[in-house]
Amino acid sequence: IRVRPLTCTETRRGDQQVVHSLGDGAVHVSAARHDATFGFSAVFDAGASQEAVFEGSGMRQLVELAIDGFSCTVFAFGQTGSGKTYTLMGPFAQSGTQPASPALLGLMQRSFTCLLEQSRSRGSDLALSASYLEIYNEQIRDLLSPGPPCTLPLRWSKTRGFYVENQLSVEFESLEAVVSLLLQGSQRRRTSAHALNRHSSRSHALLTIHIRSRAAGACPSKQGTLCFVDLAGSERVKETGSSGELSLEANSINRSLLALGHCISLLAKPRGKRTHIPYRDSKLTRLLARSLGGSGITLMVACISPSSRCLSETLSTLHYASRARRVTTRP
C-alpha cells in the first residue's frame, strides 16, 4: 500500500488526514463513522521515498526472478490522483522529461537500472526488448509503433496463450534507450488524453520487458518477462461493481476493471472452491491471465490518498487489495 501526501489543494481546503500507517504492514483508517485496520505485506506512508518503495516492495527480487525466466508483473491500482503513475514513473510523466532529481525516479526506471546492471555483470548474454500497449475502450493500441495509432488484435494459441498480434517489440541495450521508449510511449498516451479528457484515467498502460538469456553451451535458454501495468482509475468500479448494477456505459468503457475485480475475487477463494475464472471477459484480464492466477509472480501496489474526501474510494481500494493479497499463483 502506498499512501501519498496530502496535495496542496487538499491541505488548503482543510481536508482531514484519515489514513495512518501503524508500522508492520498495518494501515488504519479512521473517520466519523469508519474505523478499520488492514494488514498488508508493506505500507509506505507519505514520508516514504521512491527508493524506499523500490527496496521495500520486493521489486528488486521481481527483477531478478524475471531474469531467471519467470513472468513477473507489477500493478499500480487506485483511484485517479492516488499516485499510480508517480509510483511507477515518478513525476516526469507530467512534464514529459526526466525529473531533475534522480531521487524521484519511479519503480520502472529503478527496475531498468537494476536489470541493466545485472545484464552487464553477466556479460552480454541477456537479450532485452520492450513493448508498450494501451487498452482503451476494449481496444489495444501499440504505443511504440510509429504513425497514427492502430488497433491490434488479441489472439490465443496453445503454445503462447493470449498474445497481441503484430505488437512491436524494440530491442535495447542501455538505460537511455529504454527510458526513451518509455517517454515516447507515455507521450503518445498523453496526446490522446488532450483530445479526450477522460482518456488517461480510462486507459490501462502495459509496458513489458522481454528478457531472453542466450543459451551458453548446453544450458537451455530462458525467457522471462517484467510487465508494468498502470491501471485506469478505479473510481467507477465502486459505483457500478459493488452495487451490482452494470450500467451500459460502465460495461463498455470500464469493462476491464470490472472483469479484473471479478477475476481477483474468484481467484482469492480457496483452490478447491474455485469456479471457472472468466479471463475472457476483457482484454486486460486475457493479457494478464498468466500473471493473475497462473504461473506468474505479481506485485500489486495499491495507491491511496490520505484525505477525508477520498474515504470511500480509499476503503474500496483497501478491500480490493485485501482480496488480491489472498490470490496465490504457482510460478
Residues 197-256 that bind ligand ADP (CB under 6 A): 233
Compute the least distance from the CB of residue 188 to ligand ADP, in Å: 17
Contact status: 91 vs ligand ADP (CB under 6 A): yes
Q: What number of chain residues touch ligand ADP (CB under 6 A)?
A: 14
Question: 38 or 44: whose CB is closer to ligand ADP?
Answer: 44
Binder of ligand ADP out of 71, 85, 225, 314 (CB under 6 A): 85
Contact status: 17 vs ligand ADP (CB under 6 A): no
Gap between the Cα atoms of 293 and 190, Å rounded: 31
- Compose the 137-176 pattern: x for residues touching ligand ADP by CB under 6 A, - for all others: ----------------------------------------
Q: Secondary structure of the chain in the HEC alphabet? A: CEECCCCHHHHHCCCCECEEEEECCEEEEEECCEEEEEECCCCECCCCCHHHHHHHCCHHHHHHHHHCCCEEEEEEECCCCCCHHHHHHCCHHHHCCCCCCHHHCCHHHHHHHHHHHHHHHCCCCEEEEEEEEEEECCEEEECCCCCCCCEECEEEECCCEEEECCCCCEECCCHHHHHHHHHHHHHHHHHHHHHCCCHHHHEEEEEEEEEEECCCCCCCCEEEEEEEEECCCCHHHHHHHHCCCCCHHHHHHCHHHHHHHHHHHHHCCCHHHCCCCCHHHCHHHHHCHHHHHCCCEEEEEEEECCEHHHHHHHHHHHHHHHHHHCCCCCC
From 23, 116, 40, 110, select the one nearest 77 (Cα to Cα): 40
Binding segment for ligand ADP among 1-9, 57-65, 157-165, 179-187 (CB under 6 A)? 1-9
Residues 279-308 that bind ligand ADP (CB under 6 A): 303
Binder of Mg ion out of 71, 73, 79, 85 (CB under 5 A): 85
Q: What number of chain residues touch Mg ion (CB under 5 A)?
A: 2
Binder of ligand ADP out of 16, 17, 80, 167 (CB under 6 A): 80
* Residue 117 near residue 130, CB atoms below 8 Å: no
Compute the least distance from the CB of residue 302 to ligand ADP, in Å: 11
Compute the least distance from the CB of residue 79 to ligand ADP, in Å: 7
Quote the cell numbers at residue 217: 553451451
Q: Are strands 297-304 and 2-3 parallel, antiparallel or unpaired?
A: parallel
Residues 114-133 that bind ligand ADP (CB under 6 A): none
The binding site for ATP comprises 78-85
Contact status: 208 vs Mg ion (CB under 5 A): no
Compute the least distance from the CB of residue 162 to ligand ADP, in Å: 26
Question: 43 or 303: whose CB is closer to ligand ADP?
Answer: 303
Contact status: 213 vs Mg ion (CB under 5 A): no
Compute the least distance from the CB of residue 128 to ligand ADP, in Å: 26
Beta bridge partners of 228: 74, 207
Binder of ligand ADP out of 81, 185, 224, 306 (CB under 6 A): 81
Binding segment for ligand ADP among 67-75, 81-89, 136-144, 285-293 (CB under 6 A)? 81-89
- Residues lying near Mg ion in the complex (CB under 5 A): 84-85
- Residues lying near ligand ADP in the complex (CB under 6 A): 4-5, 7, 78, 80-86, 91, 233, 303
